Structure 1
Amino acid sequence: MFTIELTLKHTPMPLSVQKKEPSEAQALFGSLTESLRNNNGHLIEITCDQQPHKRISVLGSEIAAVQIFEKSGTATASGRPPGFFSLSSDQ
């Protein structure tokens, strides 16, 4: 199972959908990154394979970041999916 996660501008919580086939996940990831590159205001509709009734509609111009990762049977040490992080030094 592949998860495609969207981060929207001015929204702290990401949106995510799951795809079973790698080709479908890569195609969706490609279309989302293309929308991100072009900064177009077209409406993008996304469906989820894991939850068939889950549908997401997003304006392409509101996408800030997209990531794709494969959901494996083992959890990470923190129990969270891979993603973006930052390090800060306290002085």
Structure 2
Amino acid sequence: MFNIDLTVKNTPFPLSVQRKSAEDADAVYQLVLTAMRSGTPDIIELKCEGKTEKKIAVRASEVSGVQVIQKEGTAAGGGRPPGFFALSAE
């Protein structure tokens, strides 16, 4: 399973959707990247393959970053992918 995480301006947490194959994850990554480069306020709509009821819509001009991470089983260390800052209370 692959997670595609979107960093949105003025939002403290990433939005994410899942894809089952690397090819599908790369297609979503390219779609978001193309929308970000366009500079127009178009809406990007994405559905999650992992949780079929999950859908997100975001303005392309508000996306500041996108990353693809392969999710492997259970992750030690909280399950958060590298690349995003997270605070934890210990």
**Superposed pair shares fold, TM > 0.5:** yes
Map Cα deviations across residues 14-46 of structure 1 (whole Å, 9 max, x no partner).
100000021111000001011122222111110
RMSD: 1.3
Equivalent residues in 2 for 1:1-91, closer than 5 Å: 1-76=1-76, 78-79=77-78, 80-84=80-84
Look up the SS of the partner of 2:18 in the other structure: strand
Gapped runs of 5+ residues in structure 1?
A: 86-91
Q: Distance in 1 between matches of 2:43 and 2:74?
A: 35
Q: Distance in 2 between matches of 1:74 and 1:42?
A: 35
Deviation at 1:74, TM superposition (A): 5.0
Q: Rate the CA distance shift 1:74–1:54 in 2: closer, same or farther, 3 A.
A: closer
The corresponding residue for 2:88 is none
Q: Percent identity?
A: 45
Q: Give the structure-2-normalised TM-score.
A: 0.85
Moved over 6 A (4+): none
Q: Give the structure-1-normalised TM-score.
A: 0.84
For these two proteins, the number of residue pairs brought into alignment is: 84
